[in-house]
Structure 1
Amino acid sequence: MKDRLEDQIEWYDKKSMQHQKKYKNMKVVIIILAPAIPILSVLTKFNSLYVTLLIATAGGIITILEGLLSLGKHQENYIEYRRICETLKHEKYQYYTKTGVYSEGDTFKLLVERTESIISQENINWANMQNKAKGETNNG
């Protein structure tokens, strides 16, 4: 149980938090820089090279961060990893309390089968996403 289920719950929890942190940090920077551009553009009437450079830099940073968010799929990953983590926890708690599908029969075998099915489905989804990305790269 510890070697598989607990480790998987911990892994998905950790990965979800990492992606959520990356997503939110990048979005905070974007939210701060985006309104700075029109505010700074008012100052360009003073013909300041520094203001022009600040505006260009802010726009460039926003573009880079949006590209990284799209490429890394941080929002989608943190939501999906959180969903899987919570699903695995749900299975564990039902198993421990002998409720739901774990109320009778070979409950450990059922837990293993259901847990592996959840993990396997995520792996299949990941592989499909990688193949789709490769296809888009080769066709684009």
Structure 2
Amino acid sequence: MKGYVMDKEQYLIERLEDQITWYDTKSKSNQRWFKSLRVIELVSAAIIPFIAGYSESVPYGTVVIGALGVVIAICAGLASLNKYQENWLMYRTTCETLRHEKYLFMTNTRPYDGDEAFNQFVTRVENLISKENTQWARSIKEKAPGGQRK
């Protein structure tokens, strides 16, 4: 696409709004997963001592206790492996920072109050997106099996 130039409106809609929506959606999804897994962990952990107190009268009480322990381990492992909390916070931060930059630009507020406002805006927005992508790639490398980098 040699010679293709986006104007302000195109950039705001096709690039910035698209990125804000993506980060917002991913943040909400990661928050939902993190909180759901934590609730399952908490409920399972709370049930274990209750069943243990009545283990003689609860059929298969020891099996249920063991199964709940497995559920807790799986939930904790999934939360840790997929980094739901970290992703939730990182995506939310990026989303809100992009929104902040958008509102500064749309109101001609410093640093977007000069002749080069649009160029500065695009540069800052793209740097924010690039920084988040770099952090994401680093976290993926840290998740490689056996702690090895991919």
Q: Name the TM-score, length of structure 1 as normaliser.
A: 0.91
User: Corresponding residue for 2:55?
Assistant: 44
Instruction: Decide whether the 8 Å contact of 2:112 with 2:120 is kept in 1.
Output: yes
Correspondent of 1:15 among 26, 51, 75 = 26
User: Corresponding residue for 1:85?
Assistant: 95
The answer to which of 5-14 and 50-59 deviates more is 50-59
Q: 1:61 to 1:111 in 2, by over 3 A?
A: same
CA-to-partner distance for each residue in 1:32-66, whole Å, 9 max, x for gaps? 110110110011234x5421121111111011000
Residue 106 of structure 1: how far off its partner (Å): 1.4
The answer to which of 10-19 and 26-35 deviates more is 26-35
The answer to which of 83-92 and 100-109 deviates more is 100-109
Correspondent of 1:114 among 97, 104, 124 = 124
Which structure 2 residues correspond to residues 120-139 of structure 1 after superposition, within 5 A?
A: 120-134=130-144, 136-138=146-148
Which structure shows the higher helix fraction?
A: 1
Structure 2 residue identity aligned to 1:4: R
- Number of aligned residue pairs: 138
SS of 2:54's equivalent in the other structure is: helix
Distance 1:75 1:128 in 2: 16
Residue 132 of structure 1: how far off its partner (Å): 3.1
Distance 1:56 1:135 in 2: 27
CA-to-partner distance for each residue in 1:56-96, whole Å, 9 max, x for gaps? 11111011000000001000100110000000000000000
Where in structure 1 are there 5+ consecutive unaligned residues?
none
Q: 1:77 to 1:101 in 2, by over 3 A?
A: same
Q: Name the TM-score, length of structure 2 as normaliser.
A: 0.86
Distance 2:83 2:138 in 1: 15
Distance 1:24 1:132 in 2: 23
User: Corresponding residue for 1:35?
Assistant: 46
Pairwise CA RMSD: 1.6
RCO higher in 1 or 2 (8 Å CA, sep ≥ 6)?
A: 1
User: Corresponding residue for 1:98?
Assistant: 108
Distance 1:68 1:100 in 2: 43
State percent identity of aligned pairs. 39
Where in structure 2 are there 5+ consecutive unaligned residues?
1-11
